[in-house]
Amino acid sequence: MSGPPRAFVPMQETGGYQIPSLGYRILVAALLLIPSFFLLVALPVAALTFVNSRGIALPISIVAVIVWGFLLLGVGTARSILKPTRAYGPLSVAASLVSLLYLLYLITLSPYRFVVPGGSASIAAGYSMFLELVMIVPAIGLVAGLLTTVEDARAPKERLPFDYPA
């Protein structure tokens, strides 16, 4: 009895994807956490502490930066670990929403006003236009997350061979 050689069976038909183990995904997420932590928490906190040490009023409290930073890190890490699951899309949406809320919160603090030590001069710097531009990033991420959510709902595991090719 003859048939097509098994060697030519496409991977999709054989479930051709290889999802990394949970431990491996946690490890990767932890590694990704390091630069994200510096970008979202360590660097802003260091800058604010430096500014504060010069006697200049802070544009935002250090506690707020830490809270928002860890919130973003938490959602981002969960999203990274749960990428092979159906939670990936909703978590992507959630991460984008948290980012948008953080940016909106920062916009409410614009412009940043500070009085030059001595009190003879004050400077106000507005940054809301820039932050509005930055909001494009999570807005696009939000749409992408919605698309993934729809895709996972319509055809579960359809994306896995492309996200995790064997």
Partner 1 sequence: MAALVVPTHRRPPAIYRAARALRWVSAIVLVVLILYAGTVAYSATEVARSSVQSRSLSASFAANGTVEVGGSFTLSNPGLYPIQTVTLTARIANGAGVFLGKLGVGPTDIAPSSTGVFPFALYLPVSASGPAVSLLTEDQYLDVNAWGNATYAYLFPISVSLSESRSWGAPFEGFQATVGTPSGSGGALTVPVTVTFSNHAGSPDVGTLTFVIESSNYVDCGGGAFSLDVPPGGFYDQSQNVALSSGCSPAGGQLFTTYSNAGGTTPLPPEAIP
Nearest distance, CB of residue 14 and partner 1, angstroms: 8
1 binds partner 1 (CB under 8 A): no
In 3D space, the residue among 153, 44, 15 whose CA is nearest the CA of residue 106 turns out to be 44
In 3D space, the residue among 112, 135, 141, 121 whose CA is nearest the CA of residue 48 turns out to be 112
Residue from 59, 84, 90, 161 touching partner 1 (CB under 8 A): that is 161
Q: Which is nearer to partner 1, 23 or 152 (CB)?
A: 152
In 3D space, the residue among 28, 143, 135, 24 whose CA is nearest the CA of residue 76 turns out to be 28
Neighbour tally for 105: CB within 10 Å: 13
> 113 by DSSP, 3-state: which?
strand
Q: Which stretch binds partner 1 (CB under 8 A): 22-30, 63-71, 72-80, 136-144?
A: 136-144
Nearest distance, CB of residue 21 and partner 1, angstroms: 20
150 binds partner 1 (CB under 8 A): yes
Question: Dmax over Cα atoms in the chain, in whole Å?
Answer: 96
Spatial separation of the C-alpha atoms in residues 99 and 138, rounded to whole Å: 6
8-67: contacts with partner 1 (CB under 8 A): 8-12, 14, 16
Q: Which stretch binds partner 1 (CB under 8 A): 20-28, 48-56, 61-69, 151-159?
A: 151-159
Spatial separation of the C-alpha atoms in residues 104 and 56, rounded to whole Å: 23
Residues that bind partner 1 (CB under 8 A): 5-12, 14, 16, 111, 120-127, 129-130, 133-134, 136-138, 140-141, 143-145, 147-148, 150-151, 154-155, 158-159, 161-162, 165-166
